[in-house]
Amino acid sequence: MIPPIASKFVAGESPATALDHARSLNERNVNAILNLLGEHYDDRGPADEDAEAYVRLLEDIERSNVSACVSVKPSQVGLDVGEHVYRENMERIVDASGDTFVWMDMEDHETTDATLDTYERLAHEHDGGVGVCVQANLKRTREDLERLADVPGKVRLVKGAYDEPEEIAYKDKERVNEAYRDGLAFMFEEFDGGIAVGSHDPAMIEYATELHEEHGTDFEIQMLMGVREDAQYELAEEYEVWQYVPYGDKWLSYFYRRVMERKENLLFAARAVLSG
C-alpha cells in the first residue's frame, strides 16, 4: 500500500485507482495522462509485461469513458533490451489504443534518436494519435523541433529531467529557460497545433498563453500530479490541462525523485497529509 505521504504524487498501485483519480480530475475539467511506473528493464520479460499492462489499461480507458491518455517510457517497454523490442511493443500499444492518445516520454540523450524515429513512424501510420516529449536542455532539440514540425502528432516540450554532459546540454538554469522559450516560440510559429507545454513554471506558461494569443495555435498545458494542483484547476477554466498521473507498485523511486528535485515537495506532502 502507498503511504499517504507518497500518495500526493502517485495515484495508487492499480489501474482502477488511477482511473478513479482520472475521474476526479475530469470533474474539475482536467484530463489525465496515465503512466504505469517502471523503467530500465534489461530483460524482455518485464518489458513485454508492461506493454501488455498498457494494452489492458487502454481497454479500461475505452470502457470507462474517462478523459485520459497514456504516457510510456521507452526503457519500460524494451529500449534497453533492443530498439526492435521497443518498436514492437510500442506498435502493440498504439495498435490497441483506439481513440486514446499515446505519449512517449523521453529519457536520457542516448535514447533520443530511437525514441524520435519510432515516434515519427507511428505518428505517420496512426494519423497523429501519438506524441513525443523533447527536452529544452539538449542542444539538439531545436533541430529536432524542425524535424517534428510536419509530423502529424503532438510534441511535449519539457526542460529536461536528466543530468546530461555539458558537450550536448545546457547546464545553466537560465540558459535552459532561454532554450525553452525559443522552443515554444518556434512551435507556436511553425506547428499546426499539437503543442504540449510540459512545465510548472508560471513564466513559461504565461509565455505560451501570449504566443497562443499572437498566433492562435492550439496548445495544452501538462503538469505532474501533486505539483501546483491549484494552478492546474485554475488554468483548466480557460485552457486545456492534462495532469500526468503515475501509478503502480514501483512508486518508491518515483517519490524519491520528486523529493530530491525539490525538497519542498516533502514538506508539501507532509503538510497535505497532516491537514487531511
> Has 156 been annotated as catalytic?
yes
Beta-carbon contacts of residue 219 (< 8 Å; ≥ 6 apart): 188, 193, 195, 196, 197, 208, 212, 239, 240
Q: Is 161 in the site for ligand FAD (CB under 6 A)?
A: yes
Which of 12, 160, 183, 248 contacts ligand FAD by CB under 6 A?
160
Q: Which is nearer to ligand FAD, 100 or 265 (CB)?
A: 265
- Output helix, strand, coil percentages for the chain, rounded to the nearest 5: 50, 15, 35
223-252 positions binding ligand FAD, by CB under 6 A = 223-224, 227-228, 244
DSSP element (H, E) containing 21: helix 15-26
Q: Could you say which of 105, 121, 142, 257 is catalytic?
A: 105
> Has 105 been annotated as catalytic?
yes
Write down the least CB distance from residue 88 to ligand FAD, Å: 21
Q: Could you say which of 87, 144, 156, 258 is catalytic?
A: 156
Q: Is 201 in the site for ligand FAD (CB under 6 A)?
A: yes
Q: Which is nearer to ligand FAD, 181 or 212 (CB)?
A: 181
Beta-carbon contacts of residue 190 (< 8 Å; ≥ 6 apart): 145, 146, 149
Take residue 235 and report the three cell numbers written for it: 488554468
Q: Is 222 in the site for ligand FAD (CB under 6 A)?
A: yes
87-126 positions binding ligand FAD, by CB under 6 A = 105-106
Contact indicator for 118, 153 with CB cutoff of 8 Å: no
CA-nearest of 276, 212, 245 to 67 is 245
Residue 254 gets the label, from left (phi > 0), alpha (psi -120 to 50) or beta, of alpha
Which of 114, 162, 233, 272 contacts ligand FAD by CB under 6 A?
162
18-47 positions binding ligand FAD, by CB under 6 A = none
* Catalytic machinery residues: 105, 156
